[in-house]
Amino acid sequence: MSKRVATRPTWTMVSSIGAALGALVMMTGAQAQTAAAAPEMTPAEVEAGKKIYFERCAGCHGVLRKGATGKNLEPHWSKKAPDGSTQEGGTLKLGTARLEKIIGLGTEGGMVNYDDILTKEEINLMARYIQRTPDVPPEFSLKDMEASWKLLVPVAERPKSQQNKINLKNVFAITLRDAGKLALVDGDTKAIWKILDTGYAVHISRLSASGRYVYTVGRDGLVTLIDLWFAEPKTVATVKLGADARSVDTSKFKGFEDKYLIGGTYWPPQFSIMDGETLKPMKIVSTRGNTVDGDYHPEPRVASIVSSMIKPEWVVNVKETGQIMLVDYSDIKNLRTTTIESAKFLHDGGWDASKRYFLVAANASHKIAAVDTKTGKLAALVDTKKIPHPGRGANFMHPKFGPVWATGHLGDAVVTLISTPSDKAAHGKFKQYNWKVVEELKMPGAGNLFVKTHPKSSNLWADLPMNPERENAESVYVFDMKDLSKPPKKLDVAKDSGLPQTKALRRATHPEYNQAGDEVWISLWGGKTDQSAIVVYDDKTLKLKKVITDPAIVTPTGKFNVYNTQHDIY
């Protein structure tokens, strides 16, 4: 059986759980009593549980297990229902046998089945582990960041001009998740240019405003700065942001190109500002505080971050509190922040076609929040189907409703189209639809992670990697935007790859266009011991064009075309 459990260590957990919890979570007598009833585990089993939980579970359920995209996994919880009654639950109430079924088979809410990822023994171990009191990692200060910072190649020792003949605009930065590496692939020749070490499970790659530097951030909090101007790409600096991170972006406003980098962490809940060319730590800002409902939250994690091109600002989305922060980087010493209330459980999102409005999924609230970055105010809260997960989303002109932005869903079998405003006079006739769900495109199931299109394309691509059915998880679906009444065309990516079928799924995920907008690259994400691939299709004919596979292509997930990422084209 294939296992996708990385061997790289993630954090050093505090040995005294009680002392750390005392600083963060007040435990009631009832909770302490139920915690004592947790199944027994050996010290070795506890350590194994910590590692698997961090790598597989914490992203959705949180370090403190209070839930966000995923359910609350505390041993015991209680909350007030709308009718005033008290609801109680917890992993202890569910018990080991029930938890094993949930972990193994997944849920309709978007949780993937782990019976082809973890062994039967590991599933049992995790069912017991999550009935224990959550472990809490240590805090991470500016001094900790400074101690982790490594400037490998000073700016003065870097090339003054590009020292290779690669078309950098069409290079793809591809996450090799469980290998802790990044593959840089020449989009013109389809050849692997260079594979570099990064943090574990890189979540995103971002480009500097100039297109010279690639920044990656891993789930172990490590940021790498890669210079594409060398004869072969080279990592020139690294820094650690904390124990768990998801997002970085650069300063893009005119006059600030490549000057700063911001990184957001899941643990500790904070964001950090660094020098854009060296990663030298400059400032840390905590995001702990009250939710939009007025309740204090000890773990409000920083989810997506994007950089505005119309102001010297970053848009920072704080997951658990539902607060969207507009961070003005024109004066780092005297940092000014505008905080906008939206909806809880903010996750990922992207710009509309005008680059004025940022749309972000408040996924466990089943809403899309739209921010007008020109006025610094919330433009809309749009209700959607369950658990929207847009990635960056997709922008196109709908034949009936004008400019729209699309998101898929982890928890429902639709792609949602939302009308977005436009300053173009010719688009005034569509104003009546703005910030409304104008259409829902039918998908064969829930479990979508990413939708994607391109200004030069008439296709809308959608994946289903989190669907429990093999035929869906291993395929992508392509809508014809000229006639959205037609069902999408199914492309069996696993079959097209030519790789032999395995018991474990190879999940087809993250469609990404090349610079020209005439190819779409799909990650075929297999197990760590199974061969994976990047499968390239012709966007016009939907015919297979190339399969990029190699023993070094291990668990590929996100792919980021340099030009499209640099200019926020999706």
**What's the rounded Cα separation, in Å, for the pair 73 and 171?**
41
d(CA 499, CA 496): 8
β-strand 150-151 against 234-240: which pairing, if any?
antiparallel
Structure tokens at 156: 């003065």
Q: Is residue 60 annotated as part of the catalytic site, yes or no?
A: yes
Tokens of 568: 């926020």
Helix (H) or strand (E) holding 23: helix 17-24
* Residue 57 falls in the annotated catalytic set: yes
Active site residue: 203, 366, 389, 454, which one?
Answer: 389
Which stretch of DSSP H or E encloses residue 246? strand 244-250
Q: Can 282 be counted among the known catalytic residues?
A: no
Active site residue 389: yes
Max CA distance (Å), the chain:
68
- Report the run of H or E that residue 244 belongs to, with start and end: strand 244-250
CB atoms within 10 A of CB 519: 21
Specify whether the CB–CB gap between 273 and 282 falls below 8 A: yes
Q: Which residues have a Cβ under 8 Å from the Cβ of 254 and sit 6 or more positions away? A: none
Q: CA angle, 24 as apex, 20 and 29 as ends, to 5°?
A: 90
Which of these is catalytic: 111, 126, 466, 481? 111
Strand partners for 325: 316, 339
**Cβ contacts of residue 507 below 8 Å, gap of 6+?**
465, 466, 473, 474, 524, 525, 526
* Cα–Cα distance list, 338 to 285, 314, 354, 551 (Å): 14, 10, 21, 47
Q: What is the distance between the alpha carbons of residues 481 and 144, in angstroms, rounded to a whole number?
A: 50
Residue holding tokens 């990822």?
A: 117
Selecting among 13, 57, 325, 443, the annotated active-site residue is: 57
The amino acid sitting at 339 is T
Label each residue of 133-192 as H, E or C. Answer: CCCCCCCCCHHHHHHHCEECCCHHHCCCCCCCCCCHHHEEEEEEHHHCEEEEEECCCCCE
- Which residue, 159, 157, 213, 160, is CA-closest to 184? 213
Angstrom distance (rounded) from CA 332 to CA 175:
31
Task: Give the rounded distance of the alpha carbon of 226 from its chain centre.
Answer: 20
Q: Give the DSSP per-residue string, 62-115.
A: -TT---SSSPP--SSEEEE-TTSPEEEE-HHHHHHHHHHHHHHH--TTSPPP-T
| 3-state percent breakdown (helix, strand, coil) of the chain, nearest 5 | 20, 35, 45
Catalytic residue among 76, 203, 297, 347: 347
Please identify every residue annotated as catalytic: 57, 60-61, 111, 347, 389
